[in-house]
Structure 1
Amino acid sequence: MSLDRKHKAQKLTFFKPDLQSELKIPYVSQGVSAGFPSPALDFLETTIDLNKALTENLDMTFYIKVEGHSMTDAGINDKDILIVDRSIEPADTKIAICFIDGEFTVKRLKLEKDGLYLMPENKAYKPLKISEENNFMIWGIVTYVIKKI
């Protein structure tokens, strides 16, 4: 079964985190107020390694660059980087990287009585019901989105 234009999978580029990196990024562990300003706290700066901070299962985590617009209402936009953990069990409403009929896509999982649906988060795209005819696999679960604002 080939996917029509409204179901066309995004092009995803996969990367493995570089856990050997010694890149230390300045980090202020004291939270920044999103409401009223809080007093400045001098010299609380330390460093963070984002590869390690955003990765729970080192051997099963990948970074994936998104190309496409089917998940914009979930806050996933073209050129965002997804952090995907392959060790997390798929579940209803989770956002997953799926392999379907030879292509990868990112969609929200929706489990209904009549089967599994891949749900886009953009009204211009239609849900896709998974059938026995599909070559289908849930490849991993999205844990973080890294984006430029």
Structure 2
Amino acid sequence: MIGPVGGDERPEGLLARLAPEAVPAGFPSPAQGYYTGPVDLNRHLMRDPTATFIVRVSGESMIGAGIFDGDELIVDRGLDAHEGDVVVAVVNTELTVKRLSYRSGRMVLSPENPAYPEIVLSEHDEATIWGVATRCLHRV
């Protein structure tokens, strides 16, 4: 499912408080417990809201990249895709999320799960990079 995040204006009410330091995943820090000012999540998560979409992931081909079934990707259609990027591609009219690479001059879309085959595009395939995934929203 693909849908726009917003128009030219930034929606109000997407502010969150930001802790001034990283939170340790090991032992707790006694210095924690205070916050800096609010963070605009639009600015924090999106480079260009007019070119940004949220895509819901279905399937398990990208679990090795930490992208799971039901996760939502923030996808920027205004970025140029580079080798190694996680991209949303349109291959023969079908959308897919894969890691981009090139081999012998051909585009290769690779899963991050060995149970799935990579897609090596031929001259007979129609393929375009729809956008570059910049963030993964994952429920904990």
Which residue number in structure 2 is paired with residue 115 of structure 1? Answer: 106
Which residue number in structure 1 is paired with residue 84 of structure 2? Answer: 93
Uncovered stretches (5+) of structure 2, i.e. residues with no partner? none
Q: In structure 2, the residue corresponding to 1:52 is in which secondary structure? A: helix
Which residue number in structure 1 is paired with residue 29 of structure 2? Answer: 38
The answer to which structure, 1 or 2, has the higher relative contact order (CA under 8 A, 6+ apart) is 1
Distance, in Å, in 2 between the alignment partners of 1:147 and 1:130 is: 30
TM-score of the two chains, using structure 2 as the length reference? 0.87
Q: Does structure 1 residue 49 correspond to structure 2 residue 40?
A: yes
Whether the 8 Å contact between 1:29 and 1:46 is mirrored in structure 2 is: no
The root-mean-square deviation of aligned C-alpha atoms, in Å, is 1.8
Distance, in Å, in 2 between the alignment partners of 1:35 and 1:59 is: 39
Whether the 8 Å contact between 2:20 and 2:34 is mirrored in structure 1 is: no
Counterpart amino acid of residue 14 in structure 1: I
Q: Does structure 1 residue 65 correspond to structure 2 residue 56?
A: yes
TM-score of the two chains, using structure 1 as the length reference? 0.82
Distance, in Å, in 2 between the alignment partners of 1:44 and 1:126 is: 46
Q: Give the paired residue count.
A: 137
Which residue number in structure 2 is paired with residue 146 of structure 1? Answer: 137
Distance, in Å, in 2 between the alignment partners of 1:102 and 1:27 is: 41
Whether the 8 Å contact between 1:60 and 1:86 is mirrored in structure 2 is: yes
Uncovered stretches (5+) of structure 1, i.e. residues with no partner? 1-12
Which residue number in structure 2 is paired with residue 14 of structure 1? Answer: 2
Q: Following TM superposition, where does structure 1 have runs of at least 4 consecutive aligned residues deviating by more than 4 angstroms?
A: none
- Percent sequence identity is 34
Describe how 1:70-85 pairs up with structure 2 within 5 A: 70-85=61-76
